[in-house]
Chains A and B, each alone.
Chain A
Amino acid sequence: MSANPNTITIDGQEIPFTAKQTIMDAALAAGVYIPYLCHYPGLPPSGNCRLCVVEIGNRNVAACITPAVAGQEIRNNTPELNEVRKTVTQMLFVEGNHICPSCEKTGNCKLQAMGYYLGMLEDHFPQFYQRREMDASHAEILLDRGRCILCDLCVRASRDVDGKNVFAIVGRGTNAHLIINSPTGKLADSTIATTDLAATICPVGAILIKEQGYQVPVGQRIYDQHTIREIGLQESIAKKNDD
């Protein structure tokens, strides 16, 4: 379609890209939103949440890990894909134990914001009610695995930005869970600090900073005032937006 060798099109809109950019990189740079939860511009992509899956011809690919290639004609913001994204979001909701009304993260939570953005009105699937261990050992940071969506952001942030390697995801299938890289397996015995990116990057309420609950009242929180689309188009590691 395009004569320009360095562009892709997303939903008909022509977008430039540079070498080594993924479809997600190019889209974000051009202000085109592709929904995502496990991505964070500035960290290496993982491709695990699958919300950013887009269509190229009859192929479905995750935009965050697929290199942009000249001439790609990509479908992104379609009713069908957004419906699928809503279902994937519902899957994440039922897999964990998400307690929005009593969660400190409410209003700042990306999973919740994604639910709103995609028009999710109920869980659709039966809850898994998994028993997942809570780790309250650390004086300043709480880890509630029940609310974890296995996005791997804390793992990458700790390893690639903080240089500490505090977290890892282990276990197959729905046994997958977060573990701590410390002799006791407890957060208290790890090297994590509240100033670490890994302590604040959690998109949901699985990793929470203690003793500062509800400093911002519900109603004035990030996603009370913005859609996840607006925030998603702005955020990156370089300009870390602290809650």
Chain B
Amino acid sequence: MLNSSLHNSASPHEHLLHRLYALQQQFLHISPESMQQVASEFNLPVSQVASVVEFYSFFYTQPCGRFHILFSNCTSCGYLAGEQDLMRMLCQLLQVTPGKTRQDGLASVDETSCIGLCDQGASLLVNGVPIPALDPEKITQIAQRITAGTPVTNWSAEWFKIRDTVHQRNLLLTDRLTPGSVLHKALQQGANESLEVIQQSGLRGRGGAGFDTGKKWQLCRVASGGARYVVCNADEGEPGTFKDRFLLSEQADALFEGMAVCAFVIGANKGFVYLRGEYRYLLSHLQAVLEQRRSLGLLGKNILGHENFQFDIDIVVGAGAYICGEESALIESLEGKPGIPRIRPPFPVTHGYLGQPTVINNVETLIAAAQIVMHGSAWFKSAGTEHSTGSKILSVSGDCRSPGIYEYSFGVHIQQVLDDCHAHNVQAVQIGGPAGKLIGAGDFNRAISFEDVSTGGSFLIFGQQRDLLAINRNFARFFAHESCGFCTPCRVGTQLLKNNLDKIAAGRGTAYDIEALKQLSHLIQHQSHCGLGHTAANHVLDSLQCFPQIFSANLKQHFTAQFDLDQSLENARQITHRDDAAAHLDNG
């Protein structure tokens, strides 16, 4: 039965990640037999299939529950965001241990990295569908539905509603583009002129790195290759970022328009949207928009009657891996491999997807490009600063009264954003997510721009009551979990960093540990293979500089064993069924 069902659903052109997702859905895990089967279907070594299964968080080698629940562990939309540990509550109600499927196979509960619902309160994914704004009341009701075996489709539709609020609008969020209008203009003025207007606008990548978009398109355009590709990076994984989720929901047409213009400029026939697995629920909407564009002649052959312009877009859905936001890891994933960053150079712009010249741009960048072609470079440059033209969309969350989407002219001061979102008594702001920069109150007059504080969009606010050491431990755990494991400094270093912070938090740290933190952080930052490692210790270094007291407050004066000696005997006690006084160390 297994074999027949596997055969029936396989298609020769299916993406490996999609095939594995289908198996995960059907059997609630991917068994060694399934891996063998897929390996023969795709004509791959079974080890390659296994490497993909083991790499992505949303593929499991042991069966999940029929109700599989993943709580976000982000500092804004995580299960610890409120007063109560909601994951623990649900686990108690369902009698499950986190990470272990209940004996009867009914349910499994675990945590996952940020799911991009940071302005919606504590959130979870149930069988891949998000439920925002969790509270104890809702958790109780969810537990009841699960216990009763009520299919998720029959749960209250109200629970699944995601209400986005736009608090500030600037260039990109003011007007909507009419489908086809940008493409029409681009085709009319030609590829050269369209590229020129992008170059003149000074548009830089909105993912955070800020590479000149016009230059990227130009480099790809002149690179030699048999085919060219345009890829939209919709792997919005930086904790605290959700503006791409909003843009994908509200401005998908403008995004596809931007991709088509890029394709026209660089000479691509094929484009991909790499959508993070956490946003799979947006897939049907995006596909509907693509279908509509095909029916309007805005995708496919002879676009808008131009015989020489042919372009279409596929959506590839990831499966839970932060590292795939790194462009070369993203390409590896697109090619059906684990998302391990490539050796660069060569860069994707000359050797990208299938080794061909490839432009990879962020969702917001492509939408900005569409708007620039429509309205001109002067319009775009009317906002922003000299080296950061245009506007930036921020995802504001954390301790403020009005979390949500804020679009500002580049150069806006941090204090301005805090005032607008009604954040008071702010201790610190984490800009650009855990990989970004921690800013203390003394620096709130600094500006959001490539020249000053750069961000992909994440803007996490921490009030005075927040425990910044706990925030640092959360971030350190995140990086240790998301490190791809390729290079030693990041693979081992992020784990050591996490352990070191846990030790300090447990009150077992000494002054020496502060020095050790510093050295370890520098090593990870300078020796790692890719951007994940280069930025993984930023939060520790920033915190050591701006908030040294969070580490030093709990230090021991003298040497302390870094583990609890008595606790270490627990295994021995369990094995010998003893718990008397003599089986404990005298800690006095």
Contact = CB atoms under 8 A, between A and B. Distances in A.
B343 A65 contact: yes
B420 interface: no
Interface stretch (A4-12, A86-94, A138-146, A235-243): A86-94
A183 B485 CA distance: 25
Interface in A137-191: 150, 165, 167-176, 179-183, 185
A91 B54 contact: no
Interface stretch (B44-52, B149-157, B399-407): B44-52
B526 interface: yes
B527 A53 contact: yes
A91 B489 contact: yes
A126 interface: yes
A94 B488 CA distance: 11
B483 A172 contact: yes
A97 to B, nearest CB: 14
A183 B49 CA distance: 12
Contacts of B53: 170
B50 A179 contact: yes
Contact of B54 (A47, A53, A92, A170): A170
Given A60-B527, A91-B492, A168 B487 contact: no
Contacts of B32: 185
A172 B47 contact: no
A49 interface: yes
Given A50-B527, A174-B492, A176-B491, A150 B48 contact: no
B45 A165 contact: yes
B472 interface: no
- Chain A, interface size category, equals 35 or more
A80 B398 CA distance: 40
A150 B494 CA distance: 16
A34 interface: no
Contacts of B481: 172-173
Given A171-B485, A172-B484, A183 B36 contact: yes
Contacts of B563: 126
A174 B484 CA distance: 9
Main secondary structure of the interface of B (DSSP, over half): helix
B475 to A, nearest CB: 15
A182 B527 CA distance: 35
Contact of A88 (B338, B345, B488, B519): B488
Interface string B269-308: 0000000000000000000000000000000000000000
B514 interface: no
A181 B47 contact: yes
Contacts of A169: 51, 485
B478 to A, nearest CB: 11
Interface string B471-497: 000000000111111111101111110
Nearest to B485: A176
Nearest to A93: B492
B491 A173 contact: yes
B491 A181 contact: no
B499 interface: yes
A48 B47 contact: no
Given A168-B48, A172-B485, A84 B491 contact: no
Given A125-B496, A174-B492, A179-B51, 10 more contacts: A47-B487, A48-B529, A84-B526, A91-B493, A170-B53, A170-B54, A171-B485, A172-B54, A173-B495, A179-B50
Interface of B: 32, 36, 45-48, 50-51, 53-55, 321, 338, 343, 345, 480-489, 491-496, 499, 519, 523, 526-529, 562-563
Interface of A: 45, 47-50, 53, 60, 62, 65, 67, 84, 87-88, 91-92, 94-95, 125-126, 128, 150, 165, 167-176, 179-183, 185
